[in-house]
Chain A
Amino acid sequence: MITARYHREIPQRYRLEAGKCLACGHLSFPPRLVCPECKAKKFETVTLSDEGTLVTFTVVRVASDKFSKETPFPVGIVELNGGVRVTAQIADANIDELKIGQKLRIVFRRIQDDGKAGILCYGYKAIMA
C-alpha cells in the first residue's frame, strides 16, 4: 500500500530534491514554503549532490521497537557538497573506522518496515565514499 504521505515524500526521499531560494540561493532540504535565511517564498527545485562529509556520528545501541532488530547501527550528520546537512544511517561501515571528516556518498536503501509512512519505507543512507 502506498500511503498519501509516502507518495508525497518521494521527491525528497528518492530524488534528494531541495528548494533553492530564488532571492538568496539558500538550499532547503526538505523543500519549505519560507526561506529560513531571508524569508523569501520563491524557490526552484534542485537536486542535491550525493557526496559529502561526516560532521558527527553515533552508534545507536538501544533503539525504538521498530529499529531494535537493526542495532547497533551508526547514524551521522552528513554535510553534502553545497552545504545541506542531513541525518542518515551509515551503511556497510566498520563502526570502529568511522571518523569525523570522512568522505561519504548517499545511496538509496530500505530504511524500515511498516513505518508510519507506509509498509516499506525507503530512503537515503550514507556509505563510505
Chain B
Amino acid sequence: MRDVVVIGAGMTQFGELWNKSIKDIFVEAALKAIEDAGVDHIDSMYVGAMSPGLFVGQEHLGAVMADYLGVTPIPATHVESACASGGASFRQAFLEVASGASEIVLAGGVEKMTDGADVTEALATAADQEYEVYQGITFPGLYALIARAHMERYGTTREQLAAVAVKNHRNGAKNPNAQFRSEVTAEQVMKSTMVADPLRLLDCSPVSDGGAAVIVASMDVAKKLKKNPIRVIASAQSSDTIALHSRKDITTLNSVVKAAEKAYKIADKKPADIHLVEVHDCFTIAEIVTTEDLGFFEKGKGGEAAEKGWTSIECKRIPVNTSGGLKSKGHPVGATGVAQIIELYEQLNGTAGSRQVQGARVGMAQNMGGTGASCVIHILEAS
C-alpha cells in the first residue's frame, strides 16, 4: 500500500447545538476541513454516524451530506460501527487512498443527539438488544459491570476513577472546541449523581452534538500542495463478542488488545514510541482499561497511573486525551473517532496551543464501539 497522509482538519464546537441541524453540523466541519487542506475538490467521502435513524429519523447519510456539501455526484457512504463509526470512517478513507482508487477523500463523522430522542435507548442499540438490553441494562450500566469487576480483581479505587475525569476536564478546559471547558475536583466527581454503581454522572461522557472531518490524501497530493504531511503509519480494526457476558475476562477489552497488536506491528512501533494517545474514555473506567490494553501500563495498573498523573500532558510518560477526551470535549458519537484524529493532527503539527505536548511526533487514536465489540486504532507520524 502507498503512503497516506492527513492534510486538513475541521470540526464544529461540541455541545448542545440546538440551532443547528445534523446537516448544518456536518457541512460546517467538512467545509473547514476542505479549506484547511486547500484542495479544490474531493474524490469521495465517508460519513461516520452511529444512529441518525434513531436520533433524528434520517438514514442514507452519505447522500444527504454529499447533497448539502454540494459535491454530488461523488461517491458518499455512511459508515456505522456504533461509537467507533468515526474511526471506521477514517479507516475507509485511508484504505481508499492507500489502494490507489482515490487521491483525495474526506473522512467525516457527525451525531445530533439533543433533538429529543431517548438517548439511553438509542445508545443501548450498540449492545446485544435481545440478551443485554432486554434486561434493562444501559451503557453506563455495562461499563459499571466492567468497573466493579476491575475494582474487585485489581483493587482499582473510586479515587482512581475520579482522577481520570479530573485530568480530562483539565485538558478540555484548554480546548476551544470542548463541550465542558471547566475543571472539576475529585470530590465533585465522587459526589455527583449515581448513574449506575459505581459510576456517577461525572464518570460519564456527555450527550453531545458535533461534527468533525479530515482530508486524507496521497503523498503526491500533499507534495503538490506543499503541505506538512502527517502520515498515517497504521490502521487496524478488530471485533469481539457483542455481549459483554460472552467474554471470558470482562476486565480486558480483547478487541483493543488485538487491534493494538496489529497497529504496533504495521507501524513498527511499541508503546514507548508513542508520544500521546487519544483513547475512547466514554466512561472513566474505559480510559483505565484501554491504557492497560494498549500496553502503556501493566494490566491492573491503569488506575494507579491515572492517580499518579502519569497520563497528564506535563508528565510526558504518556499524555492521554490531551483534547479533554470524550469526557470533557464531548461525545457526539459518530464524530468522536474523527475528532481524535484531529487532536493528533494538531499535536503533530505543533498547533495544539496550551495543550501542546512538546516534541510530539507520533500519536495514537483508539476508538471503540459498544463495550469494545469493535475497535479501530490509528497511528500517525509527523514527517
Footprint of B on A, CB under 8 Å?
A: 9, 30, 36, 55-67, 70, 73, 75-77, 85-89, 100, 111-112, 115-117, 121, 123, 125
B196 touches which of A62, A66, A67, A77 (Cβ 8 Å): A62
Say whether A111 contacts B136, CB under 8 Å: yes
- Give me 14 A-to-B residue pairs in the complex whose CB atoms sit less than 8 angstroms apart, sorted by A's number: A56-B149, A58-B145, A58-B199, A59-B196, A60-B141, A61-B193, A64-B136, A65-B118, A65-B121, A77-B250, A87-B135, A112-B134, A112-B136, A123-B134
* Residue from B136, B141, B149 having most chain A Cβ neighbours under 10 A: B136
A64 touches which of B120, B131, B144 (Cβ 8 Å): B120
**From residue 109 to 157 of chain B, which have CB atoms closer than 8 A to chain A?**
118, 120-121, 124, 129-132, 134-138, 140-141, 144-146, 148-149, 152
Residues of A within 8 A of B140 (CB): 60, 62
Nearest-neighbor residue (CB-CB) of A28 within chain B: B246
Nearest-neighbor residue (CB-CB) of A70 within chain B: B136
Taking the complex as formed, is B265 at the interface, i.e. its CB lies under 8 A from any CB of chain A? no
Taking the complex as formed, is B187 at the interface, i.e. its CB lies under 8 A from any CB of chain A? no
CA distance A59 to B217 in the complex (A): 47
Residues of A within 8 A of B105 (CB): none
Taking the complex as formed, is B315 at the interface, i.e. its CB lies under 8 A from any CB of chain A? no
Residues of B within 8 A of A112 (CB): 134, 136
Given A75-B136, A87-B244, A87-B245: A58 in contact with B131 (beta carbons within 8 A)? no
B 224-244 to A, binary, CB cutoff 8 A, 1 in contact else 0: 000000000000000001011
Given A58-B197, A87-B244: A73 in contact with B144 (beta carbons within 8 A)? no
CA distance A60 to B243 in the complex (A): 17
B135 touches which of A55, A61, A85, A123 (Cβ 8 Å): A123
CA distance A57 to B149 in the complex (A): 8
Nearest-CB distance from A5 to chain B (Å)? Answer: 9
Residues of B within 8 A of A115 (CB): 134
B 83-120 to A, binary, CB cutoff 8 A, 1 in contact else 0: 00000000000000000000000000000000000101
Residues of A within 8 A of B144 (CB): 58
Residues of A within 8 A of B124 (CB): 64
B 140-182 to A, binary, CB cutoff 8 A, 1 in contact else 0: 1100111011001000000000000000000000000000000
Say whether B152 contacts A58, CB under 8 Å: no
CA distance A52 to B29 in the complex (A): 51
Residues of B within 8 A of A30 (CB): 130-131
Residues of A within 8 A of B199 (CB): 58
Given A64-B138, A87-B132: A59 in contact with B197 (beta carbons within 8 A)? yes
CA distance A125 to B148 in the complex (A): 20
Residues of A within 8 A of B198 (CB): 58
Residues of B within 8 A of A77 (CB): 145, 244-245, 250
Residues of A within 8 A of B184 (CB): none
Say whether A66 contacts B121, CB under 8 Å: yes
CA distance A36 to B197 in the complex (A): 31
Say whether B148 contacts A100, CB under 8 Å: yes
Nearest-CB distance from B140 to chain A (Å)? Answer: 7
Residues of A within 8 A of B74 (CB): none
The 5 closest A-B pairs by CB, nearest first: A58-B144, A64-B121, A56-B149, A67-B136, A85-B245
CA distance A77 to B347 in the complex (A): 41
Nearest-CB distance from A9 to chain B (Å)? Answer: 7
B148 touches which of A57, A66, A70, A87 (Cβ 8 Å): A57
Nearest-neighbor residue (CB-CB) of A90 within chain B: B135
Residues of B within 8 A of A116 (CB): 129
* Residue from A70, A88, A115 having most chain B Cβ neighbours under 10 A: A88
